[in-house]
Chain A
Amino acid sequence: MSGTVLIIYAHPAHQTSRVNRRMMETARDLEGVTVRDLYELYPDFHIKVKIEQALIEKHTHIVFQHPFFWYSCPSLLKEYIDLTLSYGWAYGPQGTALNGKTLLSAITTGGGADAYKRTGHNFYTVNELLQPFDQTARLCGMTYLEPFILNGSLQVNDQAIDAHCNRYRQKIIDLRNGDIGEVYQR
């Protein structure tokens, strides 16, 4: 039992979500896990930076959970990153608040796994497209973990969703228990 998990959850259409909503709900009640539902907390995009920074400081493992929009995160999570990971706190001189923490991207993609390769219409792999997140972690002295991905989220059936949610729950438990699993391969 070492450390705690902070899930930064960003979904602008949570009310109509099939997968992300359930993933978040299965993890929410776990001991040692905190969920920040960004679109519910900050509908006007006015992020309370001090509060968010204090929360990050209290947790060891940070999870960005969101649908993959235009090869990136929903805009409010970007706003969160822009403001919260500030100069002199997350990076730059004395910017050591994140040193030694881990960062996990837990994402769902609309397109199937086949779409994310050279022969698919998205050309790049999801891991390649997640490079900005890896580099963000690197600059802040964090360990970026192997992304937790569900492809083809629009096509998957209920059983597949159940299975994915169980895996997600287990992943979060493992993280909480200090088992960080695989690290992102650069």
Chain B
Amino acid sequence: MTDGFLYFALIFLSAAVIVVPLAKRSGLGAILGYLLAGVIIGPFGMGLIKNPEAILHFAEFGVVMMLFLIGLELQPLTLWRLRKPILGLGGSQVALTTFLIAAGCLAMGLSWPVGLAIGLGLALSSTAIAIQLMNERNIFTTYTGQSSFSVLLFQDIAIIPILAIIPLLAVGGDVGSVQQAIEVVEEQAGGSLWEKGLMVIGLVSVIIAVGHYAMRPALRYIAQTGVREIFTATALLLVIGVTFLMKSVGLSAALGAFIAGVILADSEYRHEIEAQIEPFKALLLGLFFISVGMSMNFDILASDWMTALGALLGLLIIKFAVLFFLAKIFKFDFAQNLIFSTLLAQGGEFGFVVFQFANQVNLINADLTSLLNMVVALSMAATPLMLMFYDRVIVRRLQNAQNFDVLPEKPSIKTHSPVLIFGNGRFGQVVARLLQANKIQTTILDHDPKQIDTMRRFGWEVFYGDVMDMELLHAAGAEKAKLLVLAINDREKSVAAASLIKQKYPHLKIYARAYDRRHAYELSKVGVDYFERETFHAALNMGREVLMALGYRAYEARNLALRFAKHDRKILIESFSYFEDEKALISFAQQSREELTRIFESDRTDAELHREEGWDEDDGNKPQIGKR
């Protein structure tokens, strides 16, 4: 067994590592790379893996994780705002596409139950492909992205009734009454519909209640133990648990994971959970695409390539036309509409499920099932190619025709802040408050659950996570942020983090809280863009107040303090070249102290000179202590 697992892992990882970068380099994109890798190692390529179906089944978990992550990005309120496109756009897409495809099947001489089953299966698009492509193109947050997502979400929900209808279609014309129909469905489901319905409602309520009330304290408890891998384990357990529960009552695991995600969307652990799940998702999704590639049955293509290609073209054209028509009604502009319709024109992974099921209940025969699976897989591979065609050919035409419009950024699901603040203690908090008071969107992260809890009770949105976790930064939108305020109080960690972040996100400016001069030096060495010593300005202000208490005028005290600060910073930065050598540093420090005294001295002399030259009424008197 171990050998088997290692063998699989070796084959899959090698295929991915060799083929995907090549595909990406050559402009084909990662998805085509995975599909290609699958074809190469699959039964019709080198034959290294024999049973792609089993692996496909396992890899579908990647899709579940993807929906969980999408749920995490969606606050319940955002979801509510999307209800119109979900129901309107999604609903009419599934209905219209199903109808047209079923009609096509009838025309080709298939029976209507078979046609309807095929229509329902093919109406579903590939969430995996579409969302992956949207992420690659960075359009998930645009209007197009949101609309596409709404359609996909509706399809994910529609899979439940579709799977319920399939057995009905299997008995076809024999269903005489509603009563009979229900009996057929119940027979398939293995229980009474009432019981089933209650179970579903009960289960979803349990997920919502647990997610809402129990998950947060549980996550905080686990975060407080500080064992990072246990947090990872918890995040995984969460997704797997939900999947298991949903499957146990025959519901779509993806939908359950999505609901779980939405419930946790306003939790402070959102970014951290995201960061933990993301690598698993990405790998499993890759595995999923590989399995799709492996399951492509080229025998069918060889034996009856006319039918297969005809079906593929028919599928793409019908789906594209329906989407294009609907988008027109929903008032997309032309360029947006093209992307939207292309993104969703393929068949999807749920199609595999539907056809497999239809085959089980003897509605669709085995040959037709493999043909349909082949068509779906080909349509999935066609999508990135069509988008490439769009980019290379159509965009240019549109630009030439002068009516190409850059996609407008409409309200987004996944908002990205220009500023990330890491560490929300007594330092980061002040920065955050100043920025937020000026309506500058900031994402605040902290590693102390207690601190987060306090801040949240005061109505602040603070997320949990560790600054060394680059996945977390990625989830918090480091790619798009302009600036990161590094305000944690752990000196060594802040240097290490600054160095790591600078390597990973060179564009991201780092403004760091420094403990003292040495820390400032270390931070500068790893390339932070600005540092502020945490107590310097407080002490400087104190000095200024003391001067005033001694009788200095407020304005003079201010000027003296500012001059001191300026000189101090200049000397500090100059001294950085001596930091590795203590002797040189000490002598440099002495010199600069003397220099400072000289500067203040010469200011006074200058003032006296002015008076003698008759340009000023300054008589050079020193301020009198105790008298203002």
Residues of A within 8 A of B (CB): 12-20, 39-41, 43-44, 67, 76, 108, 110, 153-155
Closest chain-A Cβ to B603's Cβ sits at a distance in Å of: 12
A16 to B554: give the CA distance in the assembly, Å: 14
Instruction: Report B289-310 residues with CB < 8 Å from chain A CB.
Output: none
- Contacting B620 at CB < 8 Å: which of A12, A16, A110? A16
Q: Apart from A41-B554, A154-B617, list 10 A-B contacts with CB within 8 A.
A: A13-B556, A13-B616, A15-B552, A15-B553, A15-B621, A16-B607, A39-B554, A40-B554, A108-B617, A110-B617
When the two chains form their complex, are residues B628 and A154 in contact, meaning their CB atoms are under 8 A apart? no
Pick from B557, B558, B617: contact of A17, CB under 8 Å: B617
Closest-CB distance, B627 to chain A (whole angstroms): 10
Residues of A contacting B618 in the complex (Cβ-Cβ under 8 angstroms): 13, 16-17
Closest to A38 in B: B555
Within 8 A of A (CB), among B304-334: none
Residues of A near B621 (CB, < 8 A) are: 15-16
**Contacting pair A15 B556 (CB below 8 A):** yes
- CB–CB B614/A154 < 8 A: yes
- A-B interface pairs (CB < 8 A), number: 51
- Give complex CA distance A18, B617 in Å: 7
A12 to chain B, nearest CB (A): 6
Residue count of chain B within 8 Å CB distance of chain A? 19
10 nearest interchain CB pairs?
A: A43-B554, A39-B555, A43-B558, A43-B555, A16-B618, A15-B623, A40-B554, A153-B617, A154-B617, A15-B553
Check A40 against B628 for contact (C-beta < 8 Å): yes
- A108 nearest in chain B by CB position: B617
Contacting A at CB under 8 A, from B598-621, are 607, 611, 614-621
Q: How far is the CA of A67 from the CA of B610 in the complex (A)?
A: 15
User: Nearest chain-A residue to B551 (Cβ)?
Assistant: A15
Whether the Cβ atoms of B558 and A16 lie closer than 8 Å is no
Contact of A39 among B553, B616, B623 (CB under 8 A): B553
**CB neighbours of A44 from chain B (8 A):** 558
State the Cβ distance, B284 to closest chain A Cβ, in Å.
57
Among A14, A15, A41, max chain B CB count under 10 A is at A15
A154 contact from B552, B553, B556, B611, Cβ within 8 A? B611
Whether B553 lies near A18 (C-beta < 8 A) is: no
Query: CA of A16 to CA of B617 in the docked complex: distance in angstroms?
Result: 8
C-alpha spacing A18/B555, complex, angstroms:
18
Distance in angstroms from A172 CB to nearest chain B CB is: 21
When each residue 200-228 of chain B gets 1 if its CB lies under 8 Å from chain A and 0 otherwise, what string results? 00000000000000000000000000000
User: What 0/1 readout, one digit per residue, does chain B (481-512) give for beta carbons within 8 Å of chain A?
Assistant: 00000000000000000000000000000000
Closest to B558 in A: A43
Nearest neighbor of A15 in chain B, beta-carbon distance: B623
Select one of B552, B553, B617, B619 contacting A67, CB under 8 A.
B617
Q: How far is the CA of A40 from the CA of B554 in the complex (A)?
A: 5
Pair B619/A16 contact, Cβ less than 8 Å? yes
Closest to B552 in A: A15
5 contacting pairs across A/B (C-beta < 8 A): A12-B555, A15-B552, A16-B618, A40-B555, A67-B617
Bound CA–CA A50/B555 (angstroms): 21
In the assembled complex, the CB of A153 is this many whole angstroms from the nearest CB of chain B, namely 5
Which residue of A19, A41, A43 is within 8 Å of B617 (Cβ)? A19
Which residues of chain B from 516 to 557 have any CB-CB distance to chain A below 8 Å in the complex? 552-557
User: Max chain A CB contacts within 10 Å: which of B557, B614, B615, B623?
Assistant: B614
Query: In the assembly, what is the distance between CA of A15 and CA of B618, in Å?
Result: 9
Report the bound CA distance from A155 to B613 in whole Å.
11
Looking at the assembled complex, report how far the CB atom of A171 sits from the nearest CB atom of chain B, in whole angstroms: 20
Closest to B607 in A: A16
Chain A residues contacting B616 (CB-CB under 8 Å) are 13, 110, 154
Give the distance in Å from the alpha carbon of A155 to the alpha carbon of B617 in the complex.
9
Complex alpha-carbon distance, A110 and B613, angstroms? 11
* Distance of B565 from chain A, by nearest CB (Å): 13
Contact B557 A43 (CB under 8 A): yes
B143-186 Cβ-contact flags toward A at 8 Å (1 or 0): 00000000000000000000000000000000000000000000
Which residues of chain A are within 8 angstroms of B555 by Cβ–Cβ distance?
A: 12, 14, 39-40, 43, 76
With A and B bound together, what is the CA distance between A36 and B184 in angstroms?
Answer: 92
| CB 8 Å contact bits of B360-402 with A (1 = contact, 0 = none) | 0000000000000000000000000000000000000000000
Q: In the complex, A67 Cα to B611 Cα: how many Å?
A: 14
Nearest CB in chain A: distance from B605 CB, A: 13
Q: Are B619 and A110 in contact (CB under 8 A)?
A: no
Quick one: closest B residue to A16, CB to CB? B618
| C-alpha gap A5/B620 in the complex (Å) | 32
Distance from A19 Cβ to chain B, minimum over Cβ atoms (Å): 6
Which residues of the partner chain B approach A16 to less than 8 Å between Cβ atoms? 607, 617-621
B68 to chain A, nearest CB (A): 50
Q: Assuming the A-B contacts A16-B607, A16-B619, are A110 and B614 also in contact, with contact meaning beta carbons closer than 8 angstroms in the complex?
A: yes
Minimum distance in angstroms from A66 CB to a CB of chain B: 12
How long is the Cα–Cα vector from A15 to B552 in the complex, in angstroms?
Answer: 8
Residues of B contacting A110 in the complex (Cβ-Cβ under 8 angstroms): 614-617
Distance in angstroms between the alpha carbons of A68 and B628 in the assembled complex: 23
